[in-house]
Structure 1
Amino acid sequence: MAGEDNSEQALVVGGQGGIGCAVATQLAQDARFDAVWTVSRKTSTSKGVQCLRPLHTDHSEESIKTLSEQVLEESPRLTRVVIALGTLHGEGYGPEKSLEALQRTSMEVVYRVNCVLPLLWLSALAPGLRKNPDCRVAVLSARVGSIGDNGLGGWYSYRSAKAALNMGLKCASIELARRAKGVKLMAFHPGTVDTALSEPFQRGVPEGKLFTPEFVAERLSGLLDEHPADGALSYLDWAGESIPW
């Protein structure tokens, strides 16, 4: 499935979420890429776009390993990876406002989706990335995962999971700087995006600060183009500004 020598390939994990779908569409419209893999829990179609390659996963370790091996084998020039996984609320859980609201089951769900799964995908892709001379990897983080920027408290599980994700990515960036010098890692804060994740919390968003997924996808693409491999993890917001750890 690999294209011509100068063609590139991309992978979007979480390709049917609001941001992930917009990123996949943006990449599919970029002439540099002849294949854009999209991984989702839902059965998806390519929607008539020839270069989109939909894959289904249950996010089990076996599925993650198998699909990563398939993508790496068929895409020797994988130059963009976007891991767009995240959850803030769902059936029976939401952001906690107090210590008394903490529950083990909801914490485990939030940690798994926001921290464990992105790192498992990165782990499974690592063997192939080590052979790649140029691959920019972005993982959806959040400003609320910043310990230094936390002046409000609350949202215990989501904040903690994103902070743990950031630490995992930091460790990975140090390792990849030694073993995969062509890889650039980025923890990306998209801002407040008009998706199902933020819908219950949009009332207090200042005018002009509720972004469309398409705007965020464009900003992320530009940031990935601007940041070549440098052996470091960048923690950036949608405007390209660094966020304190």
Structure 2
Amino acid sequence: MHSFPPGYRALVLGASGAIGAALAAQLREDPCCGKVLVLGRASTPAVDFDAPASIAEAAHALRSQGPWNLLLLATGMLQGPTGTPEKRLADLDPEHMAASFAINTIGPALTMAHFAPQLARGERSVLAVLSAKVGSIGDNRLGGWYSYRASKAALNMVVKTAAIELARTHPLSVIAALHPGTVESALSAPFRGAKAKRPARDAARDLLAVIDGLQPQDSGGFWAYDGQRLPW
């Protein structure tokens, strides 16, 4: 990473997933990176989006280890105990929709609320959140996947709105939503053919390259792993 100051500090939330783990591994390999910390359900402190209070507690516990130059939120839920992606309106289930928003929207929003103030001031800092191209309202041509699409679209709005606010206190900062593509992971395993998926390491490399090129004027944008700017 060439755009960050020497010895920059990075925090990765969701490193138990394929993309998050790959992002953390590549940051540790970067000789310019001075510190990489990972957060998740099994970390100390732990962060569990099913227990929102844990987010504030983790932010408080890590406050002395900042400020952070790079904060990556590599979390997401497509299916789980509450159900699978809906193909039709008739498939909508309130429990599944609530779970999707809890993991894909509310958890990341609260993470931004508690950790964004810890981003470095007076030097470059980036807060990047994994979204999904299917969360683009303008690019929705196939329909279906109601809860996942809606929760990621809501996440995108949180990113856009937070970027406007943070620019007032952190003028050198960037907040961005990123689409990683279809990656070999537990999230994508039940869907599409293996030929359509890329290794998590490749996705992490591409995402970090996109992050490295983002400037403050790009804050609040939605970007694909190949550098393409995506419509909301």
Does TM-score exceed 0.5, indicating one fold? yes
Name the residue aligned to 2:72: 82
Which of 31, 46, 57 is matched with 2:47 structurally?
Answer: 57
8 Å contact kept, 1:130–1:179: no
Give the C-alpha shift of residue 116 in structure 1: 0.6
2:118 is paired with a residue whose SS is helix
Pairing partner for 1:121 from 111, 114, 123: 111
Question: Is residue 2:101 matched to residue 1:101?
Answer: no
**Shift of residue 27, structure 1, vs aligned partner:** 0.5
Which residue number in structure 1 is paired with residue 25 of structure 2? 25
| SS of equivalent to 1:148 | coil
* Contact 2:6–2:34 (8 Å) recurs in 1: no
**Alignment correspondent of 1:221:** 208
1:67 equivalenced with 2:54 (yes/no): no
1:176 to 166, 170, 178: 166
Question: 2 CA distance for matches of 1:91 and 1:15?
Answer: 21
For structure 1, which runs of at least 5 residues remain unmatched after alignment?
44-53
State how far apart, in whole Å, the 2-side matches of 1:131 and 1:62 are.
26
Pair 146,42 (structure 1): closer, same or farther in 2 beyond 3 Å: same
What TM-score does the superposition give when structure 2 sets the normalisation length?
Answer: 0.92
TM-aligned CA deviation for residue 62 of structure 1: 2.6
In structure 2, distance between residues paired with 1:108 and 1:92: 9
**2:123 corresponds to which of 126, 133, 140:** 133
Verify the 8 A CA contact 1:37 1:55 in the aligned structure 2.
no
* Alignment partner of 1:237 is 2:227: no
Alignment: residue pair count: 227
Distance 2:218 2:199 in 1: 31
Partner residue, 1:46: none
For the 8 Å contact 1:148–1:244, the answer to whether it is kept is yes
Q: What is the one-letter code of the residue matched to 1:39?
A: L
Q: Distance in 1 between matches of 2:83 and 2:122?
A: 40
Distance in 2 of aligned mates of 1:156 and 1:29: 38
Instruction: After TM superposition, give the deviation of residue 92 of structure 1 in Å.
Output: 3.7
Counterpart amino acid of 2:37? W
- 1:150 and 2:137 aligned: no
Deviation at 1:224, TM superposition (A): 1.1
Q: How far did residue 33 of structure 1 move?
A: 1.5
Mapped to 2, the partners of 1:166 and 1:104 lie a distance apart of 21
- Structure-to-structure mapping, 1:2-41, within 5 angstroms: 6-41=6-41
Looking at structure 2, the residues matched to 120 and 180 of structure 1 have their Cα atoms a distance apart, in angstroms, of 18
Identity of aligned residues (%): 37
Aligned residue number for residue 51 of structure 1: none
Across the aligned residues of Structure 1 and Structure 2, the Cα RMSD in angstroms comes to 1.7
* Greater mean alpha carbon deviation, residues 144-153 or residues 171-180: 171-180
* Contact 1:10/1:37 (8 A) holds in 2: yes
Whose relative contact order is higher, 1 or 2, with alpha carbons under 8 Å and at least 6 apart? 2
Distance in structure 2 (CA, Å) of the matches to 1:177 and 1:241: 23
Q: Which secondary structure does the structure 2 equivalent of 1:201 belong to?
A: coil
Higher strand share: 1
Q: Which amino acid aligns with 1:68?
A: A
Aligned 8 A contact 1:192 1:210 in 2: yes
Residues in 1 aligned to 2:136 and 2:27: alpha-carbon distance in whole angstroms: 29
Which string of whole-angstrom CA distances, capped at 9 and with x for unpartnered residues, describes residues 27-75 of structure 1? 01111112111001135xxxxxxxxxx6422333332112123333212
* 1:91 equivalent among 81, 99, 102: 81
Could you tell me how far 1:134 is from its partner in structure 2?
A: 1.4
